[in-house]
Amino acid sequence: MINILIVVSGYLLHNFGLAIIALTIIVRVVTLPLTTKQLRATKAMQEMQPKLAELQKKHGKDKAKLAQEQMRMYKESGVSPAGCMLPMLVQMPIWIALFQSIIRVLATKPEDFLNLSQHLYSSWSQVFFLVPLNSQFLWLDLSIPDRFLMLPILVGGTMWLQQKMVMPTTSADPKQQAQSRMMLWMMPLMFAFLTMQFPAGLALYWVISNVITIVIQYYMVGGWGGLMPAGAQKPVGRDKKYITHITRVEEKPVDFADVGADIGADVGADIARKAAPSLRMFKRQAKKNKGHRPTRK
């Protein structure tokens, strides 16, 4: 990737800043399927949180039953908690490679140059002519931290926007709300602080990457997501698959008489009588959710 960065820079007016932007876009496009899969899975997990909270309330004391019901819900909805993280973990080596490439190409000291020389492909003669690259880009010297602190602010700001967009606006769980609020501010502030120490070239990569993620989220998550008030959000495209699954699970009639048939009609009827209020509550909830379903064209 070092050599690609250098060659791309050569085609883009010998400008390393433009090369960083271009290669970041290319890498994000290549990893787009994984990114969208991760975003959809995250969104679906968030949609399920209220339902999981209800199960927690209902079966809190019976761990085995709780686990069973949660597994059933995951299975029927097609969502997996690990499925939110695995695409990110697969992409991480690519991001790290791009990050390290930017660091190496931004050689400033003799040691860095000698190190860089061992990563150049001898069959690509142009990489030898192009180094050292022009590290000036707009107001930035890409080899040193941004002295005007614009990039740390942009990194923190774009990261905040990115997280806010996917943050659930409705959550019955106060613990989850508190956790989400903490993450919303902690990560952007942490990365903004780190960016103050990094060469501006790395910070530029981070800003561009965040902006691309925001654009992807806009189209995959449904508009501005958590930036809009609750209720104004609408699901889009393939998100319908998960919502439809969840709604279908809720609407499935639970006839406790059938459940009780195995153990005797009387027992079954007794269970059905006692479960009737819960059944009515479920049906009311299902009707409410029907109102949020997008109309078919």
Partner 1 sequence: MSGKLLIGKVLLLLVMLLALVGGPALLGCTGVNTIPRGWSGGVIADDTIFLGSMEGKLVAIDVSSQERRWPDVPFEASKKATGFGCAPDAGGVAIYGSPSLTEELVYIAAYHGKLYAINSETGALRWVYPREGELEPIVGGPVSVLGKVYIGSSDGKLYALDAATGDKGWEFETGGKIWSTPSVNGDTVYIGSFDKKLYALDTVDGRKKWEFATEGAIVATPLVYDDTVYIGSFDRYLYALSEADGSLRWKFQAENWFWGRPLADGGVIYTASVDGRVYAFNAGNGDKIAEFNLGSPVSSSPVLSEGSVMVASQAGRIYAVNSGQQKKQLVDLEEEIYASLAASGGVVYVHTDKDVLYAVDTRSGAIRWSLSLESE
Alpha helices by DSSP H, listed for the chain, are: 2-11, 16-30, 32-59, 63-77, 81-105, 110-117, 125-130, 150-166, 174-195, 200-217, 239-251, 256-261, 265-290
Residue 198 is a binding residue for partner 1 (CB under 8 A): yes
Among residues 133 and 161, whose Cβ is nearest to partner 1?
Answer: 133
- Our CB check for partner 1 shows the closer of 28 and 256 to be 28
Any residues with CB less than 8 A from the CB of 57 and at least 6 apart, and which?
A: none
Residues 116-145 within binding reach of partner 1 (CB under 8 A): 117-118, 120, 122, 125, 128-129, 131-132, 143-145
7 binds partner 1 (CB under 8 A): no
Residue span 34-63 as binding mask against partner 1, x where in contact by CB under 8 A, dash where not: -----------x------------------
The distance of closest approach from Cβ of residue 112 to partner 1 in the complex, given in angstroms and rounded to an integer, is: 6
Closest CB to partner 1 among residues 14, 274: 14
- Compute how many residues bind partner 1; rule: CB under 8 A: 51
- Structure tokens given for 191: 């990365």
**75-81: which pairs have CB atoms within 8 A and are 24 or more residues apart?**
76/245, 76/248, 76/249, 77/44, 77/48, 77/242, 77/245, 77/246, 77/249, 78/44, 78/241, 78/242, 78/245, 79/41, 79/44, 79/45, 79/48, 79/242, 80/41, 81/45
- Binding partner 1 by CB under 8 A: which of 30, 32, 90, 96? 96
Q: Where do contacts with partner 1 occur on this chain (CB under 8 A)?
A: 45, 66-67, 70-71, 74, 80-82, 84-86, 88-89, 92, 96, 99-100, 102-104, 106-115, 117-118, 120, 122, 125, 128-129, 131-132, 143-145, 187, 190-191, 194, 197-199, 202
